Structure 1
């Protein structure tokens, strides 16, 4: 148990009713988890408002209530604390409750539209290969040294973050690499954390269903850099037109990386093949198993971050050459019949374009590219016609299918994708709502040396429809379909 007044250190309180000199057992923002002597933080969410459950939390034994509006009934013996932002209060309280674990390791946040998972995961792998105990907080998983935990959000809630950072402290972890999504930053989940550095990868069309405008989306990412301390580093992609925006107000030491511009860290692609590419990083050649321009940027960001964190240059280059693709990120399989299947998480226009451009660069000219792609439901609908246009323009054949439709009609989503197809490309597009059937059809259409791209879900091993998740793994599905046809 901890003193409430200690947990509240740094929280901006606008009103207090009750005693803060009381012991609190635990913190919760879910009233269903509240037990005797816990503190309940009433958070306003997209679906429900925690203020509706204050009375339920009190009945379950809550000793303290943190909220943006006091309830009409104030119960004697309960401490009520009014704050401007419950999300911010939750993050700061979580950090205090777990003894500010981010201060005891070097935490690096990575933000941007594309590349966050690849950069954080490979940094984690690289530092592990270098002999350090490492932590990872990513879309795919949370990792505490050798132990892995599942995660359902790119940036988990503040309690989950700090709980696992505390576990990292206990395990002797020295470095932690964390994805910082725009949702997570906007909802203050990163407040109260001490970052050793932040990395900006790129910015393109995504999440406008949540942020409404591109400027708001960009400025939300920028908050991560605005809140860095003087002792931290801020690393940005200079080739992205929003790269320098990230550095405008930061107190941190500023660093840049680029393929096309003069920057602190530079890279050049010397040659590329389907199994990798030769890069020149600051006058040193290194072979990377990751291919494509976008992965050259990812590798450069990893190299720059490793350098800024103090790794020795030649060791760093050697370790870079050992890094493997992250699951669901340009993950490829070549069948007995010499058909190449590529599975990628590309679920934004920019990411899809990057992957298809990379594939087309690697073609000798005789192969066909067959793309299976869909768009997620209950997400930014304005990118659907753009995705449809890119897939049909840059492929020989495009199959529009279901992704994670969630509560939306898959047929409607596909129709919105079809709206972006140019007249000359209509003949190249077919719609098959069932994703399994769409993948099978792509495999049946493919001839020797052809390339199949299955885009959108990547590492995900499920499909979500009307709140129900069913097992579905793109990589296993395309492998199975090709093996079945080539028996």
Structure 2
């Protein structure tokens, strides 16, 4: 892009040195810099990009953008001083990619639990209708059936805009994104023009970062406030009527509000719910002269009724035919890592779930409790360097299971024994084990299981790694559990 055209997006700036005619790329990581690129110095939590501008210049950057004065040889690189490099980055990268989100319909889904399921449901249903779509979140970024790895649930500004531009250039019409509280608080979503914002629920999580539930809740509300006040554009807020925080988000947005729920009057309401081990059925009422229909989904538990309602309400806001969407719902068998039933050659039932909050742990146990034949064995963990107050609450909710194995999700640099001892303080019965090594915990759960038992592996879901120290090591709950269960019960039959 022409440099002068790109810089038009910044009003407050001071330019030093000779500007190159064009900018080929924009980076915030000096290691990714290539020739004729622009490098933005970002002050992060662990590192300050201002310390790496020399590396960026040596790698080919011929424009450095910073928020403090730097000593730069103007024969090698131009220098642009701005008040706030994070805001400048959002402006520049949007201009560089020609504002991709304004050229597609953007769904944003936020909440403590359910984000992955709701976004996946929306995208899968769009695909069933032949609508080219993209999905961004915990499982990476997916354009139709091609997946791209991303570091976080909500990517950084540069990655978001690059992936949105990739989607637009591949003629994607709809993009569905998980929106995390960290992403909102850190401005990673600046420049994304959402059309439909969805709220799932709010329960305790991430208080190591947000400090209080009030701060956590208000950060989530940024998604709805950022829908804006331009009434010439159709914008919608999809809110869980049964969650008290929805009242706050109604006040935060000027967009049209569409509600869903089970227990209060809502635009999309489910009742006459029936749960079985293989499917959930319910009657749906929604805004239509013939808006009452019975639905069957291959997803388990009350929380998945909420997730289905949220997805249908969002698709309704987008103008899709709800009857068509309902027709395709039975084709969606499961969501990877979300109460995912593992296929094993064994007389036990095993599920992998991402449950990493007290509320989610309680719900996954309650989901299978009505159908248990013998015991429910729960393997559950929390992460190192995260909210310590949550740890005993996790164990308290885990106590609803007959047998509990307390373990660790990602120890990071914290001692694993400290993590599980913190959890242990919340246990309400004595039938539990402390096994800090997660692989050993999974294997022990299967080792002590008997025919008819149900095992839930909670906390990691579909993740294929475990963070030990500052390194990601290969780890997959489903793979470990499947291989060990098949091996154990095969030996028993030999």
**Which bin holds the TM-score, normalised by the shorter protein?**
over 0.9
Q: Gaps (5+ residues) in structure 1? A: none
Residue by residue over 1:323-342, the C-alpha shift from the partner in whole angstroms, topping out at 9 and shown as x without a partner, is 22111100113655531111
| 8 Å Cα contact 1:29-1:40 kept in structure 2 | yes
Distance change in 2, residues 1:247/1:4 (3 Å): farther
TM-score of the aligned structures, taking structure 2 as reference length: 0.92
Partner of 1:114: 113
Q: CA deviation at 1:384?
A: 0.9
1:472 pairs with 2:475: yes
Distance 2:478 2:301 in 1: 20
1:75-154 matched pairs, under 5 angstroms: 75=74, 78-154=77-153
Partner of 1:398: 404
| 8 Å Cα contact 1:289-1:324 kept in structure 2 | yes
Partner of 1:419: 425
Distance 1:154 1:429 in 2: 32
1:387 pairs with 2:386: no
| 8 Å Cα contact 1:121-1:138 kept in structure 2 | no
Q: CA deviation at 1:21?
A: 8.2
Partner of 1:256: 259
Distance change in 2, residues 1:70/1:280 (3 Å): farther
Q: CA deviation at 1:171?
A: 1.3
Distance 1:263 1:10 in 2: 42
Q: CA deviation at 1:294?
A: 0.9
Q: CA deviation at 1:10?
A: 4.4
Residue by residue over 1:441-469, the C-alpha shift from the partner in whole angstroms, topping out at 9 and shown as x without a partner, is 21122222211111000101122211233
Partner of 2:288: none
1:67-466 matched pairs, under 5 angstroms: 67-71=66-70, 75=74, 78-229=77-228, 230=231, 231=233, 232-282=235-285, 283-333=292-342, 335-363=344-372, 367-391=374-398, 393-422=399-428, 425=429, 427-466=430-469
Q: Which moved more, 1:16-25 or 1:93-102?
A: 16-25
| 8 Å Cα contact 1:145-1:168 kept in structure 2 | no
Distance 1:13 1:269 in 2: 59
Q: CA deviation at 1:105?
A: 1.1
Distance 1:4 1:206 in 2: 43
Distance 1:222 1:331 in 2: 30
Question: Secondary structure of 2:394's partner?
Answer: helix
Q: CA deviation at 1:72?
A: 5.2
Q: Gaps (5+ residues) in structure 2? A: 286-291
Residue by residue over 1:176-228, the C-alpha shift from the partner in whole angstroms, topping out at 9 and shown as x without a partner, is 10111111112212111121211111111111122222222222211111111
Question: Secondary structure of 2:109's partner?
Answer: strand
Distance 1:390 1:486 in 2: 30
| 8 Å Cα contact 1:375-1:402 kept in structure 2 | yes
TM-score of the aligned structures, taking structure 1 as reference length: 0.93
Question: Secondary structure of 1:479's partner?
Answer: helix
Question: Secondary structure of 1:486's partner?
Answer: helix
| 8 Å Cα contact 2:200-2:240 kept in structure 1 | yes
Distance change in 2, residues 1:94/1:377 (3 Å): same
Question: Secondary structure of 1:453's partner?
Answer: strand
